[in-house]
Chain A
Amino acid sequence: MNFDVSNLYAATAEIFVAIMILMVMLVTAFARDIARGLAYSLAQLTLIIAAFITFFTLDAEAKSEFAFNNMFVHDLAGSILKLMVYLSMMVALIYGRGYLADRKIERPEYYLLALLTTLGMMVMITANHLLVLYVGLEMMSLSLYALVAFDRDAVRSTEAGMKYFVLGALASGLLLYGMSMIYGATGSLELSVVKQAVPGADSAVLLFGLVFLVAGVSFKLGVAPFHMWVPDVYQGSPTAVTLILSSAPKLAAFAMAMRLLGGALPDLAEHWQTMLMLVVVASIVLGNFAALAQRNIKRMLAYSGISHMGFMLMGLLSGDGMGYSSAMFYAIAYALMTLAAFGMVVLLSREGFEAENIEDFKGLNRRNSWFALLMLFVMFSMAGIPFFVGFFAKFSVLQAVIQAGHLWIAVLAVLMSLIGAFYYLRVVKFMYFDEPADSAPLNASGELLVMLSINGVAIALLGLMPGTLMQWCEGAMKVTFAAAVGG
């Protein structure tokens, strides 16, 4: 094993974030009185600088670079996903801050955990090695478990944390078990070596392992039939945490699925595609039908998230460059939409009041027509109506899945999105057609209002001009999969 300093170059952003985490930890420990504001500022600063580092080390033309004895990969797809993770985390922290302060749970540890989970996601996104992947995953998950239970005096929050932890640990165990099978069959933990060893390996062991891998990935994405935790945890967590939970980790989980299934096991595609097909069908059917019955907006968005992840996997199971890039586009679009949706929930909540029920959106148009309009954008975008980004996300996965010859999945998917339209429209109905039940003015920090406006407008603008982002996704997948072919 020889070590070259140039390895560090590929991991600059991760190293930087790790150092900053230590800084925040010091602040938390030694500067209690000013720690809260300082930790927040440091966290935001970290994310911004990390974004700059990632952006300037990004090279759209370059092939994938491998570092640390091929444990680590630096490529365009990883960089784009990391940038989106930073962005999601920044937005989530901005949205969540006032909410936490109102509930007297804005402690500096919150920002520390948020940064830790970010680092976990970054490692997941850049891993080219099963163990590195697992380390990243655990770093992300453990921080998230703690975040979910962050409101430690609230029963629901601790219950959700416990539930998430138990089920999450089980899923991690499954994943690890699957990895050990893959290792047993191929003799390597490195993804590119695994890929080359697959054709000659014992297929029974491989398939056995694959089942566990798919189960683990599905759990982290929160798709049926591994979705049980999603509604309870989304509902139980403080909304500020739900914001984090529903956005960035999905991007990381997408990266994991793409690297594991598409990158390392393309030769087993036939098998994992069949498994994903079941997962997709179960998710979009269950997610949409269950969301219909919800009165709690967080649960509704949780179930809608299950179906959205099902849609995203439709792109993945189409299994060629187009398919992966459409799934990546979907994951990014979904992160934007879900942030805005939970941002709205935060906006409507205030000290001593949780805007938990869909009825709380009643008459929003009368109370504040600008935010009603933004929520309208989000809802129609999630329903997949143009001109919003959600439409093009849906469009590109449908295109991929029809191209791959699974017309029936596409037909089922559009039928289910019809069901989906019903509950999204119901929110619009409450906002526009009904009179307000609650006339308290919306008082939120300027930061939240500005960011939410940007977020909503971005959903509309990306719907008008989705071309650039699509091109990035396509370019990224070309680079990643060209490298995988080359070994």
Chain B
Amino acid sequence: MTHIPYLSLAIWIPILGGLLVLATGPDTNARMARVVALLTAVLGFAVTIPLYIHFDTSLAMQPRFEEMRPWIEHFNINYHLGIDGISLWFVLLNSLMTIIVVIAGWESIQSRVAQYMAAFLIMSGLMNGIFSALDGVLFYVFFEASLIPLYLIIGVWGGPNRVYAALKFFLFTLAGSLLLLLALITLYNTTGSFEIFEWHKAPLAIGVQTWIFFAFLVAFGVKVPMWPVHTWLPDAHVEAPTGGSVILAAIALKLGAYGFVRFALPIVPDACSKFTWLVVGLSLIAVVYIGFVALAQTDMKKLVAYSSVSHMGFVTLGFFLHNQLGIEGALIQMISHGFVSGAMFLCIGVLYDRVHSRQIADYGGVVNTMPKFAAFFMLFAMANAGLPATSGFVGEFIVILGAMKVSFLITFLAATSLILGAAYTLWMYKRVVFGEVANEKVAGLTDINRREFFFLAVLALCVLAMGLYPFPFTEVMHSSVNHLLEHVNGKMLPPPL
């Protein structure tokens, strides 16, 4: 295997590039800031491509592209990076989305451009760090540091109620992650190591497992977000600028779910199976109840935000089915949701840039003035509803198959998501795009320009490719998920006699 530290590059190129962009200073240099940001984002994506090309699918368990050097010897903390089939796609997804948000903010952001671009680039590097960290503290440090850029993005470039939304976002997530910190320290005190894979092997008593499980549940549950701690998400989405919403939906929400597979399931398997009912229950509430909530929204961003909560409910449900189909389906759903929800927010952003409203009632008949846009929006709306041949279908379908093996009732409730999803997405689509031209603002709309066409087309390709041929995604996951399940089942304590 190669010796180029791709993962370190994927983390530090965006961060250093971000600092460089920051150095371009005031808005008089905005053009330079944009160009440097774009180059950095492209370079950051380029270094992640070899991760896929050289990814060795034959290895079952050990992480690939490992890098390891001591960081804080006092606590035996290492700068330990590596990815497996579970994390590979998130690194790629994140780096791709960074390019897209940089392009999406090209014209719509006119104040403090350098800071805006820098925040996204630094955020991107930190996210790559989260997905490739194999050391608990390293993970945590990236996990929490990523709050800072997002807080600023929402607060500085957000809507009228941005201060409230930014603060709520920060404090909710921080509350969870502080508990995570305590759990990580407890694991260290028990095992003497911060290596995540060492923790996987550690046998823990059920009492310890239970409290660590709840710490994980709160920490990652807030981030997912699961019902009932999801309330920060609609606020954050509504107030965030388009780019912020895209990253929030496409990447930031994945962190919580990723935490469940990387930490909760393998480290505290007994507690996980003991409290499966709890997680499955919360997930189903998210899927069904939040689906209905989405139906009632009048603000497009809020609608998509609730639809995200509902879709992420599917993800947590899949993880806690404890079978191969469930976990793989959930992972695919996560990636697909990254593309689809990102694209939905971009579409809303395209409309917002022109009309400066997110209210469904302010639109109608957009197809008459923006036919190209309407076509793209249609595709993404269908994908959000889970139409076959789009990426949205694959994940949900596999999770439903997985649920079938466990319980009919769960399957039934989960499957309502397909109906509800179709209902709220397509109903919104109908009200916004079809019908008579609602007002002169809509009548005066211009169709998408080349720049907008580009990013929507890239995402459209991803959505279709993943829907038609999901093999490259499942291929890399397969052995890792298998191994995870074997490990979880093998590690479980014997049932008390």
- Interface on A for B, CB 8 Å cutoff? 365, 369, 373, 376, 380, 385-387, 391-392, 395-396, 398-399, 402-403, 407, 410-411, 414-415, 417-418, 421-422, 425, 428-429, 432-433, 466-467, 470-471, 474
Cα distance A386–B136 in the bound complex, in angstroms = 13
> Taking the complex as formed, is B440 at the interface, i.e. its CB lies under 8 A from any CB of chain A?
no
Nearest B-chain residue to A472, judged by Cβ: B74
Cross-chain contact of B182 among A369, A398, A432 (Cβ < 8 A) = A398
Determine whether the beta carbon of B182 is less than 8 Å from that of A402.
yes
Residues A432 and B156 in contact in the complex (CB < 8 Å), given A417-B178, A425-B151: yes
A-B contact pairs, 20 of them (CB 8 A): A365-B115, A376-B148, A385-B144, A387-B145, A391-B144, A399-B185, A407-B182, A407-B186, A410-B185, A414-B181, A417-B178, A418-B175, A421-B170, A425-B170, A428-B155, A429-B167, A433-B166, A466-B72, A467-B73, A470-B74
Cross-chain contact of A470 among B70, B72, B145, B179 (Cβ < 8 A) = B72
Majority secondary structure of chain A interface residues (helix, strand, loop or mixed): helix
| Cβ distance A416 to chain B, nearest Cβ, rounded Å | 10
> Taking the complex as formed, is B412 at the interface, i.e. its CB lies under 8 A from any CB of chain A?
no
> Taking the complex as formed, is B404 at the interface, i.e. its CB lies under 8 A from any CB of chain A?
no
Determine whether the beta carbon of A386 is less than 8 Å from that of B140.
yes
Q: Which residues of B have CB within 8 Å of A421?
A: 170-171, 174
- Interface on B for A, CB 8 Å cutoff? 22, 25, 70-75, 112, 115, 137, 140-142, 144-145, 147-148, 151-152, 155-156, 162-163, 166-167, 170-171, 174-175, 178-179, 181-182, 185-186, 188-189
Cα distance A422–B141 in the bound complex, in angstroms = 19
Besides the known contacts A399-B189, A402-B186, A466-B72, 20 further A-B residue pairs in the complex with CB atoms under 8 A apart: A365-B156, A376-B148, A385-B144, A386-B142, A386-B144, A387-B145, A392-B72, A402-B185, A410-B185, A414-B178, A414-B179, A418-B174, A421-B171, A421-B174, A422-B171, A429-B166, A433-B162, A467-B70, A467-B72, A474-B74
Q: Which residues of A have CB within 8 Å of B144?
A: 385-386, 391
Give me the 10 closest cross-chain CB pairs, A-B, nearest first: A414-B178, A386-B141, A470-B74, A467-B72, A433-B155, A386-B145, A399-B185, A402-B185, A403-B189, A418-B175
Determine whether the beta carbon of B174 is less than 8 Å from that of A396.
no
Cα distance A421–B152 in the bound complex, in angstroms = 15
Q: Which residues of A have CB within 8 Å of B171?
A: 418, 421-422, 425
Determine whether the beta carbon of A414 is less than 8 Å from that of B182.
yes
Q: Which residues of B have CB within 8 Å of A467?
A: 70-74
Determine whether the beta carbon of A432 is less than 8 Å from that of B155.
yes
Q: Which residues of B have CB within 8 Å of A369?
A: 25, 115
Cα distance A407–B212 in the bound complex, in angstroms = 12
Q: Which residues of B have CB within 8 Å of A422?
A: 167, 171
Q: Which residues of A have CB within 8 Å of B74?
A: 396, 467, 470-471, 474
Q: Which residues of B have CB within 8 Å of A398?
A: 181-182, 185
Nearest A-chain residue to B111, judged by Cβ: A366
Nearest B-chain residue to A322, judged by Cβ: B74
Residues A396 and B75 in contact in the complex (CB < 8 Å), given A385-B148, A402-B186: yes
Q: Which residues of B have CB within 8 Å of A414?
A: 178-179, 181-182
Cα distance A470–B72 in the bound complex, in angstroms = 8
Determine whether the beta carbon of A395 is less than 8 Å from that of B181.
yes
| Cβ distance B43 to chain A, nearest Cβ, rounded Å | 22
Nearest B-chain residue to A429, judged by Cβ: B163
| Cβ distance A311 to chain B, nearest Cβ, rounded Å | 13
Cα distance A396–B151 in the bound complex, in angstroms = 26
Cα distance A385–B151 in the bound complex, in angstroms = 13
Cα distance A135–B142 in the bound complex, in angstroms = 47
Identify which of A385, A396, A422, A466 gathers the most chain B CB atoms within 10 Å of its CB: A385
Q: Which residues of A have CB within 8 Å of B142?
A: 386
| Cβ distance B16 to chain A, nearest Cβ, rounded Å | 13
Q: Which residues of A have CB within 8 Å of B70?
A: 467
Cα distance A411–B175 in the bound complex, in angstroms = 11
Nearest B-chain residue to A410, judged by Cβ: B182
Cα distance A407–B142 in the bound complex, in angstroms = 24
Cross-chain contact of B145 among A373, A385, A410, A466 (Cβ < 8 A) = A385
Cα distance A387–B144 in the bound complex, in angstroms = 9
| Cβ distance B454 to chain A, nearest Cβ, rounded Å | 31
Determine whether the beta carbon of B167 is less than 8 Å from that of A425.
yes
| Cβ distance B403 to chain A, nearest Cβ, rounded Å | 36
| Cβ distance B410 to chain A, nearest Cβ, rounded Å | 34
Cα distance A178–B201 in the bound complex, in angstroms = 51
Residues A399 and B73 in contact in the complex (CB < 8 Å), given A414-B178, A414-B179, A429-B167: no
Q: Which residues of A have CB within 8 Å of B178?
A: 414-415, 417-418
Cα distance A166–B145 in the bound complex, in angstroms = 44
Q: Which residues of A have CB within 8 Å of B148?
A: 376, 380, 385
Cα distance A350–B171 in the bound complex, in angstroms = 34
Cross-chain contact of A429 among B140, B145, B155 (Cβ < 8 A) = B155
